[in-house]
Structure 1
Amino acid sequence: MRGETAEGRRGTSWPVGWRRLALADAGTWLSGGTPATSNAAYWGGDIPWISGASMKDFHIKDSDRRVTQLGAKNGSRLVDKGTTLFLVRGMSLKSEFRIGVTEREVAFGQDCKAVIPREGIDPYFLAYAIKVRTPEILRMVEETSHGTGRLDTARLQELEIGIPTMAEQRRIIAAHAAFERRIVGLRGVLRKLRVAEEALAANALDQERIGRWERVRLDAVASVAAGVTLGSEPVGNGTVELPYLRVANVLDGRIDTTEVKTVRILQSRYERFALQKGDLLLTEGGDLDKLGRGAVWDGRLEECLHQNHVFRVRCGERTLPDFLALYTSSPEGRAYFQSVGKQTTNLASINSTQVKQMPIPVPPREEQERIMGAIRTIRYRQASMERQIAKLRTVQQGVVEDLLSGAERLPAA
């Protein structure tokens, strides 16, 4: 232990009675490993093997990959229930810090570290105390020569946390759990709304209904264009630097603008590559089953371009963009892209001609409006639910951070 009370981070002081503790002293630190994959006797058992790919939940209890007792003893590491486990290497470390607590005996790989808390520290309290420092921890992450993130364990161990009595630790854990229960409830509602949307979409595009509608080539009702090609960029007068959407930004049913890159183009070419609200964006390449994934651009960025690996589909008067998006993402729409996609060793791709030639159903505009009206209502409710969850997460973060620093105290029961 390093003293009964002390000044914490950002110049604040932990309350009297709290202990200041470096993470290095918070428990026993353990490294993991991977049993030889060539030895069948090591794999296929009943012990979850936790890696960066499988550690997605705070409550760690299962994995797609499992090892035998023999495998756990030959190349991996076993830990019991109540161990704090976190990721120290991987691509995800560039943007998130994965941490959780084991809820059963597990083995874990070399991309993770484990801390078995010392007496007087609850594993959930320890995990929350570390997790709340995520922004600080992510700044410690270094990029390796392979492009993955690596967290320097020695630097992490230097972080100091405040440790209250076990009774207060449990009150803080209970406060966190109360937020989690509310969030889990909202997520349950969100899942039901998504199921309802899928049912509406399937009903709207059932084969009997589609069979009654006129079919035309996509380029008969919309224009299709590729975007700006990256490479040598123009310089000097008459150029402009603008954000652009790449394949990573165009997901299945939504556009992610968390990280948007920029490109410099000639001002005279702006209109050619500029996006407009209502443009349907479809990806050119990727895994075969993801060809032509896309979403409708909502115009959230006033000026934005698209890369040449993202097709822009601009609808005319006969077709609603979100109805066209509904069809291109349907099983029939995906089947078309898969049938025409060119498969290489690792990726598949489609070209603009194939997109233009896609046969699409074109019901009367009024019928498209009726179909999309019900689906838009469901989507609006989903968006509202997602905002509630995000807001609750923000409140939870602030409350728990105050409790972990001692800035706020919970009364004893």
Structure 2
Amino acid sequence: MVKSVTNNRYIQIDDLRNDNLIKYTDDDKGTFVEPSDVIIAWDGANAGTIGYGLEGLIGSTLARLKVIIPHIDTNYLGRFLQSKFKEIRNNCTGATIPHVSKVHLNSLLVPVPPLPIQKQIAAVLEKADNLRQQSQQMEQELNSLAQSVFLDMFGDYRKDAMSLKSSLGEVADVRSGVTKGQKLEGHKLTTVPYMRVANVQDGYLDLSEIKDITVKAKDFEKYQLKAGDVLMTEGGDFDKLGRGAIWSGQIANCIHQNHVFRVRLCDRYISEFFAYYLQTPFVKQYFLKCAKKTTNLASINITQLKGLPIPDESIGKQQSFLRIIDELKALKEANFEQQEQANAHFNSLMQRAFKGELDLKDVA
């Protein structure tokens, strides 16, 4: 069905998750979906993602599933298909680009309780999903609040850059790491764990995969990390340029590779304060301005990093800021526990709902 009305909503993959960026089109050609239809991402990395309750024209990678019998509730069917996401993904075709298998999708057996029960199940799942999304939203707000507190306490350095009298190279020992592929013949060697670019994220370290490297024993001390060091990457996507995280000594005898800078601050600065400073708009702007850029990537060198202007804030003021951050961290930890519980509760309901195991009296 094609609806010949201009200014239709143009529905893309992100619209199946939220309404953060609604787009419209004057094009009246294409597949039009109504709120009673279910939408499925048919091709690509998001194949199998489900949406419903939307109205407009769908993008080329999306497909419409139209309910053709009167006793099926769209919200119930949408939730059922969401519960089958992994199964749909596992049965996709295509070696490089996943495509939903129409044969497998058509073979799915949908349990069909009476319509009032379907509506109850959909309502219960909607309520549980809303609780889960509220926890996720709270996490985003707490993350934003930390930067807001920083700006409130120290100001926006973009507006007062002249007050930054020191450079990072003057207040810290900044060093690049070990280069892979060196000639090691004739040297005493040692094999140790090391931090790669993939380990250093924006504000935290991803230690899920740690690799080892063999280096000259005499170089080990030069590259060895110490608790309180701040690790920074030399490049990446524009929005991740200069990302940094604090090393807390999580892994013994660990070093870092040459694409990861190590910043060891003098005693006038607290590492946590510096790590939050790295996330400010001023620092992001500085790195983007001086970085070497290609189409999608940007990189900085050690000279540019050492030239980063640094605020001269007192230790007392830094500590006051970090006390507030500790309070925010406690809130984040409590919210994380609630988020884990909400996710577990939602997933449990999703599985039980379509096996006839959901007691609606207990969960209503």
Category of TM-score, reference length = shorter chain: 0.7 to 0.9
**Are the equivalent residues in 1 in contact too, given 2:233–2:243 (CA < 8 A)?**
yes
| SS of structure 2 residue aligned to 1:405 | coil
Once the two structures are superposed, what CA deviation does each residue of 1:35-83 show, in whole Å capped at 9, x if it has no partner? xxxxxxx9xx52222233x2351x6x6755432243xx2xx31111122
| SS of structure 2 residue aligned to 1:379 | helix
Corresponding residue of 1:77: 31
Structure 1 residue 295 displacement after superposition? 3.0
Equivalent residues in 2 for 1:376-387 (5 A)? 376-387=326-337
Question: Which structure's residues are more often strand, by fraction?
Answer: 1
Structure 2 letter corresponding to 1:50: I
Structure 1 position 374 matched with structure 2 position 332: no
CA 1:116–1:297: 2 relative to 1, 3 Å? farther
Corresponding residue of 1:90: 44
**Are the equivalent residues in 2 in contact too, given 1:193–1:382 (CA < 8 A)?**
yes
Corresponding residue of 1:279: 229
**Are the equivalent residues in 2 in contact too, given 1:86–1:99 (CA < 8 A)?**
yes
What TM-score, normalized to structure 2? 0.80
Corresponding residue of 2:241: 291
Structure 1 position 68 matched with structure 2 position 18: no
Structure 1 residue 315 displacement after superposition? 3.0
Structure 1 residue 172 displacement after superposition? 1.2
Structure 1 unaligned spans of 5+: 1-29, 33-41
| SS of structure 1 residue aligned to 2:111 | strand
Once the two structures are superposed, what CA deviation does each residue of 1:161-181 show, in whole Å capped at 9, x if it has no partner? 422222221121121122133
Corresponding residue of 1:138: 89
Structure 1 position 55 matched with structure 2 position 15: yes
**For the aligned residues, what is the CA RMSD?**
3.9
Once the two structures are superposed, what CA deviation does each residue of 1:367-386 show, in whole Å capped at 9, x if it has no partner? 21112111231233123213
Which of 141, 144, 151 is the matching residue for 1:202?
Answer: 151
Corresponding residue of 2:109: 160
Structure 1 letter corresponding to 2:15: M
Corresponding residue of 1:344: 294
Which shows bigger deviation, 113-122 or 206-215?
A: 206-215
| SS of structure 2 residue aligned to 1:317 | coil
| SS of structure 2 residue aligned to 1:313 | strand
Equivalent residues in 2 for 1:7-406 (5 A)? 46-52=7-13, 54-57=14-17, 63-70=21-28, 73=29, 76-92=30-46, 98-101=49-52, 103-119=53-69, 120-141=71-92, 144-145=95-96, 148-187=97-136, 189-190=138-139, 192-206=141-155, 215-227=165-177, 242=193, 244-247=195-198, 250-256=200-206, 260=209, 262=211, 264-266=213-215, 268=217, 275-288=225-238, 290-297=240-247, 306-406=256-356
Query: In 2, distance between residues paired with 1:274 and 1:91?
Result: 39
Once the two structures are superposed, what CA deviation does each residue of 1:238-278 show, in whole Å capped at 9, x if it has no partner? 6758574425x544334455x64746544846666665554
Query: In 1, distance between residues paired with 2:223 and 2:88?
Result: 39
Kindly tell me the number of residue pairs found equivalent between the two proteins: 356
Query: In 2, distance between residues paired with 1:47 and 1:228?
Result: 56
| SS of structure 1 residue aligned to 2:15 | coil
Once the two structures are superposed, what CA deviation does each residue of 1:182-215 show, in whole Å capped at 9, x if it has no partner? 3344455445534532321102221699889884
**Are the equivalent residues in 1 in contact too, given 2:10–2:59 (CA < 8 A)?**
yes
What TM-score, normalized to structure 1? 0.71
Structure 1 residue 398 displacement after superposition? 0.9
Once the two structures are superposed, what CA deviation does each residue of 1:298-323 show, in whole Å capped at 9, x if it has no partner? 56666766554332323343321111
Structure 1 residue 355 displacement after superposition? 0.8
Query: In 2, distance between residues paired with 1:138 and 1:306?
Result: 37
CA 1:374–1:231: 2 relative to 1, 3 Å? same
